[in-house]
Structure 1
Amino acid sequence: MAVTVSLVVLFGLVLFFLLRAGNLGYGSAFTAAGFGFFLASTGAAAPINQLANAVLDAIPNL
């Protein structure tokens, strides 16, 4: 739960700054989609949460 809340805040901040700067490319579209999935917790959120947890678990092993 804490990881999801942190990712929502992170995606929200990144999206805010991308929109404010006027950089509306593929990166901002991906950020907006990720933010929406984490925020809404739809049926597609479970695989995205698993992917995010796998990436976060892999980071210390690098």
Structure 2
Amino acid sequence: MAVSISVVVLLAIVVVVLIRGGSVRLWHALACAAFGFFLTSTGAAPFITDAISGVTGWISTF
């Protein structure tokens, strides 16, 4: 669970930086967030969670 929270915080920081830099408009960020919420209710959610866990596990070995 701690990994999920830190990924959320990291992604939030990236989104804020992109919005402030003008690379992403607020509506684009909101659309991406809505897409993420809807994606979690699909069959792809376990695969995405496993992939993120695998990557973070691989990174933690260094």
TM-score when normalising by structure 2: 0.62
Q: Which runs of 5+ in 1 are unaligned?
A: none
Summarize the Cα distance change of 1:54–1:6 in structure 2 as closer, same or farther, 3 Å threshold: same
Q: CA RMSD in A?
A: 2.8
1:60–1:9 distance in 2 versus 1, CA, 3 Å:
closer
Higher relative contact order (CA 8 A, sep 6+): 1
Taking the TM superposition and a 5 Å limit, the aligned residue runs for 1:6-45 are 6-24=6-24, 32=32, 37=36, 40=37, 41-43=40-42, 44-45=44-45
Distance 1:60 1:5 in 2: 16
Q: Distance in 1 between matches of 2:13 and 2:45?
A: 19
Change (3 A) 1:14 1:59: same
CA offset at residue 49 of structure 1?
1.4
After TM superposition, give the deviation of residue 59 of structure 1 in Å.
1.6
- Per the alignment, residue 5 of structure 1 pairs with 5
- Residue identity over aligned pairs, in percent, reads 34
Distance 1:42 1:9, change over 3 A: farther
Q: Which aligned pairs between 1:43-54 and structure 2 lie closer than 5 A? A: 43=42, 44-54=44-54
